[in-house]
Structure 1
Amino acid sequence: MNSLKTKIILFWKKVRQTLSFLCFNKKGKINQAEIDKKLVYELSPRKIPNGQQLKHLKKFLNPKEHLVIKICLILVLVNLVYLGVVFFKKHIQYSPDFGGEYIEGVVGYPKTINPLYSTNRDIDNDISRLVYSSLFKYDGQGSLVNDLASEVIINNDVEYIIKIKDNAKWHNGDKVTADDVIFTIEAIKNPDYRSPLRNSLLKVSTEKIDEQTVKLTLNSAHAPFLEALTFGILPKNIWVNISPSSAILSDLNLKPIGSGPYKFKSLLKNKEGDLKEYNLIVNEDYYAAKPYIKNIKFTFFINYTEAIKALNDNQIDGLGYLPFAERKELLAQDSLVLNELVRPQIVSVFFNQEKDKALSDKMVRISLTQAIDKDQIIKDVFNGVYQRADGPLLVNSFAYNDQVTKYNYSPQEAAENIQNKLASTTLTVIDSGNNVAVAEKIKMYWEQIGVVVELKTIPGEQAADTIKNRDFETLIYGEFVGGDPDVYAFWHSSQIGSKGLNLAGYNNSEVDTLLAEARKTTNQEERKIKYQKFQEHIATDVPAIFLYSPTYTYVQSKAVKGFNNSMIIEPANRFTDVSSWYLKTSKKLVW
């Protein structure tokens, strides 16, 4: 009985399914739409329409529905693009890549690309710095760092034991050794070579400790000595067979072999025999970081007008130096970077108290200082790019003392304090660059406090005699103080007179002691303390008005990346981080 009942139930289920398939509605009528849908599903197993089917979508949608779908699709697409851009910005990393050629324009042309002679000419020194390596060099912030030297040990402030890097090689593949260092120093000392560096090394004796170690000994302690070791080292095996007296005539002075980041590739001369191009190629065996830029080309011009025109015409990628007065000639400045590098020079107004006794009154000197708005002069004359100076040391020096007394612009106080003490003075200025414009500003400021000023402008060729004879009452002059804070030559009383550079005739026994002691110890902290005390004395005595430190304008195309210098001791120092420069980049996806 139960079996029969079960069979009857199964029979009616099959009947219901059959009727359902035939799509009868509840009223027993056939539903055509349902039949069509079933047929479509039976013909295509896909439940999502394909591209061909979507073409017919608008047949089933009214205009409003069609518009809504379009807007939604556009919003989805925009969001996908936005999310893609955000993702790539966060996860794509651009890194320097090897290759390319950097073309730099310079005024003049090289003669002796040789460390023994190159300090006499900037362009010689520029190329020499790229081809040769030195024991020490200045970094982009003006600090002395190791180059070929891997280690230096100083004993008793007079003995320097220097270890040379084991992986340093000459461009011909030979190893750089202690013999090369000793040969170079002895060549500089040899009068037959006629090197301008001779006086700086005359009192240095050399000794070879081993193949990679040399000992240099001084007659007496001289703290800035390592600064004197920034010249390039010559390969002994190549130069030893060349007569010292004829070394300056050697072809190697234009086709050098060094150990620097770049090596000589080729040169091009015009019909008259003058150099027009000089090409360097990267040193693949360079012991430090290998440069990214493959080739460096120097193009030579006879003046800045031609060089700037080449820069404006995109014929060169950089200009070795841009005089301040020529800045206005640059056309597409938006595509250029004007690197303002602080130079180790301080321009000051020096008081000659012997020439004008009224200047012996310290209150007069303070008043003349307070009458000058240094910041306004820098803004008006130098577009604000020069660095203000308030003392005899550079602001970035490890020994700089920013706590000393500063006499800021205070014309009313200056006028009151100088009244009936100084009626007039003569301000001497060398006719060079923007010096006269600065002098005219100072003349205006001093006359505003009641001092009549006669402006005396002298040509550059007369400057040496004027300084030697101290033929001035007040003088605007810039002193190159170098990278080390040793300013003995400018402020020690032994340098007063025609043979010295103590232009203010400054005489202070305590300062003499501080300066003498500071240059005899290599302990930097001790030197810092002494130089900071020295600056306190200068601030108190006011022997000069410190105005500003000029900048060296180095122009490069924005296509050149990686230049990070802020200061140079000499123009060639702009290449100190050349290994970091790059023209090409590669992309890498970082998760």
Structure 2
Amino acid sequence: MNNNPQNSPNSSGKSAKGKKIPIIIVSILIIAIIVLIAYNLIPGSKNKSAVQSNVFSVRIGLLREPRALCPVKRNGNIERQVNQYTFIQAADYNPFTLQNTPVFIENIPKEISIDSGKYANTFRYDLTFRKEAKWDDGSEITGFDQLFFIKMILNPMVEIHPAVRNLYKKVKGIEIDKENPKKISIYTDKNYMLSRELVTNMEIFPEYFYDPGKIMRKINFETFLDEKKLSAVLDTLPGSKKFAEKINSAYFMREHISGQGPYYLADWEANSFIRLKRKDNYWGEKFTGIPYLQNNPKEIIFKIIADKTTSLTELKNGNIDVLQSVPGNDFKKMKNDSVYSNKFDFHNPLSMQFYYVIINNRNPVLKDKNIRKALAYLTDVDFLIKTFGTGGEKRLTSPVHPSKPYYYKKLKPVKFDIVKAKELLNKSGWKDTDNNGILDKIVNGKRTELNLTFVAKGNGLGKNIGLLMQENAKKAGISIEVISKSSKEFRNILKKREFDLVPSVISEDLADVDPYWDWHSDNIGPGGSNISGFSDDKCDSIIREIRNTRDIELRRNFYKILQILIYEKQPVIFLYVPTNNIIINKKFKAKTSIKRPGYFANTFELTKEKK
């Protein structure tokens, strides 16, 4: 018997009856088989197996281009949507349980009081990085990386927001375990309420990538605690200026990014798109219970579409899968249209921010709290929510987010009441003496009419708030001119404090809020963060108590007192907490959260019918 397949009668291109099969037919059959195999490998194909279900991309609409991809330099809402996949924190609040959870450290450290010795009057936090935690080059994440990161922030040559640098000045000492560099002890000032979060809820940078010459290692940490000494060392240390120049440049802000997140920056085409790709053999993917380490999609693509109308059109046409911060009216229209409700899921969790109108307390007229209260009564917040919201918004009465356990619910929102506003204006001596419809009064020896300017950015919600206030204020004898400015002009006006009224937003995280930056008189000066210019000795004192109090219940009582004081003074007009309107294609199984930015594309899964 001939067992050689090449000599088999059915392998020579002939049929069993001896007829030849044309070569072209054989070729077509081979091509068909190849195409069939390839089809089964295409994401979303009908025969796709469960093993291949993670070979998919998520396309997200961004309303502007990120200014940089460096979380300690720029981390607004847009930047955060991208940064959260490339840079992760050592610990972070789980977006679904809202509990502070270890990410690439093993445990949330205990707070150990140090009462004597070199680090007397500090708290010590002992951190251990996970043994699995590695950088992109395969090297381990160690205490040297965290030490470098803190030195970089404290380096005056590096362009960091002053508020961030001031926070890290609370760090008083750092010790790395000599036998195990994955263990590090950090000592912080006792007089800061968020010292634990300061050392755990931070991104850290790989030293090998951002400081390959180890320039920062050449300076002892103690030197960073003495600004004059540090400046002198930096001025003479070879390579220090070049290090800072490179850190401050586009090279590390846009072109070369390296973090501990599950994705890396693959492409960035200016004003067009940003493409993130999943890291191969990522160390964190085994920790399936930690959302920030998940890497389900193969790619996350951000399409930069500056116009909101165009971005909605792209979503409807299937060119993007996710759109965040959708205007309330558009959100409701799409949700109520079966064409779109069958294609998309509509999520509107409360956002971790609130809207308010800043009143310039420096203005001699607006220093009078009766005038500020009258303006609050002339603001129909319920109408704003009904007109521009989705129904899930919440009124608020103080600078504390209603989701916080210490939000003081007994304070009632100021109701729209023109009569009450007129009473307060009359109480402060404002009358229409010349019958021109505008109230007037002698202020600083000069007859002054009650004319105010409301400055808004662009033509969005802020301007609409101004127009509503303008209409209602007119009925009470106040003239409000609404002025719309470009983003650049708007920032300039805020910087120079050249406004009477301006709409604004405060964004918060899940940690306890630090009221110092927005409400303490220390920050009133030029470039300060207290934009309203509000100043009150009692409030300053309570803010200091909040920052220095470790006992949670006692601190919450101080929060309550602060809210009552600010409610009584009415330095701004508190409006409401908006919903974060997110539309996501139904082909994904996705959960949203109150935690910014509200969605987490790395956790998305394909729905069963799409696998």
Instruction: Give yes or no for TM over 0.5.
Output: yes
What amino acid sits opposite 2:323 in the alignment? L
What amino acid sits opposite 1:201 in the alignment? Y
Describe how 1:120-519 pairs up with structure 2 within 5 A: 125-140=80-95, 144-149=100-105, 150-156=107-113, 158-191=123-156, 194-196=159-161, 198-204=165-171, 205-209=173-177, 210-219=180-189, 221-228=191-198, 230-241=201-212, 244=243, 245-246=245-246, 256-260=257-261, 262-264=262-264, 266-267=266-267, 277-281=275-279, 284-286=282-284, 288-289=287-288, 291=294, 293-304=296-307, 307-319=311-323, 322=326, 332-334=339-341, 335-352=343-360, 354-357=362-365, 360=368, 362=370, 364-384=371-391, 386-419=393-426, 421-422=429-430, 423=439, 424-432=450-458, 433-448=460-475, 450-459=476-485, 460-480=487-507, 483=510, 484-519=512-547
Distance 1:116 1:350 in 2: 27
- The equivalent of 1:17 in structure 2 is none
What amino acid sits opposite 1:312 in the alignment? K
Size of the aligned set, in residue pairs, is 482
Q: For each residue in 1:516-569, what CA deviation from the matched residue of structure 2 results, as whole angstroms up to 9, or x when unmatched?
A: 11112343322211111111112223232211234443331122223131232x
SS of match in other structure, 1:533 = helix
Contact 1:468 1:497 in 2 (8 A): no
Distance 2:480 2:251 in 1: 53
Residues 154 and 377 from structure 1, CA distance in 2 versus in 1: closer, same or farther, beyond 3 angstroms? same
Q: How far apart are residue 292 of structure 1 and its match?
A: 6.9
Contact 1:280 1:295 in 2 (8 A): yes
Which stretch of structure 1 is more off in the superposition, 463-472 or 531-540? 463-472
The alignment yields a C-alpha RMSD, in angstroms, of: 3.9
What amino acid sits opposite 2:483 in the alignment? T
Describe how 1:13-92 pairs up with structure 2 within 5 A: none
Flag structure 2 segments of 5+ consecutive residues without an equivalent. Answer: 1-49, 114-121, 214-241, 431-438, 440-449
Residues 127 and 353 from structure 1, CA distance in 2 versus in 1: closer, same or farther, beyond 3 angstroms? closer
Q: How far apart are residue 393 of structure 1 and its match?
A: 1.1
Distance 2:78 2:495 in 1: 30
Aligned with 2:59 (options 93, 104, 111): 104
- The equivalent of 1:563 in structure 2 is 591
What amino acid sits opposite 1:263 in the alignment? Y
What amino acid sits opposite 2:572 in the alignment? A
Distance 1:214 1:309 in 2: 51
Residues 536 and 192 from structure 1, CA distance in 2 versus in 1: closer, same or farther, beyond 3 angstroms? closer
Contact 1:106 1:321 in 2 (8 A): no
2:606 aligned with 1:583: yes
What amino acid sits opposite 2:88 in the alignment? S
Residues 217 and 302 from structure 1, CA distance in 2 versus in 1: closer, same or farther, beyond 3 angstroms? same
Q: How far apart are residue 267 of structure 1 and its match?
A: 4.0
SS of match in other structure, 2:264 = strand
What amino acid sits opposite 2:481 in the alignment? L
Which stretch of structure 1 is more off in the superposition, 228-237 or 328-337? 328-337
- What TM-score do the two structures reach when normalised by structure 1? 0.69
Distance 2:492 2:266 in 1: 44
- Percent identical among aligned pairs is 18
**Larger radius of gyration, structure 1 or 2?**
1
What amino acid sits opposite 2:143 in the alignment? A
What amino acid sits opposite 1:533 in the alignment? I
- The equivalent of 2:17 in structure 1 is none
Residues 130 and 191 from structure 1, CA distance in 2 versus in 1: closer, same or farther, beyond 3 angstroms? same
Distance 1:256 1:501 in 2: 29
What amino acid sits opposite 1:509 in the alignment? D
Distance 2:136 2:483 in 1: 51
Residues 101 and 529 from structure 1, CA distance in 2 versus in 1: closer, same or farther, beyond 3 angstroms? same
Distance 1:313 1:352 in 2: 45
What amino acid sits opposite 1:455 in the alignment? E
- What TM-score do the two structures reach when normalised by structure 2? 0.67
What amino acid sits opposite 2:212 in the alignment? N
Q: How far apart are residue 254 of structure 1 and its match?
A: 5.2
Residues 441 and 321 from structure 1, CA distance in 2 versus in 1: closer, same or farther, beyond 3 angstroms? closer
Q: For each residue in 1:114-160, what CA deviation from the matched residue of structure 2 results, as whole angstroms up to 9, or x when unmatched?
A: 5555x257665434321333113243276654322322122346433
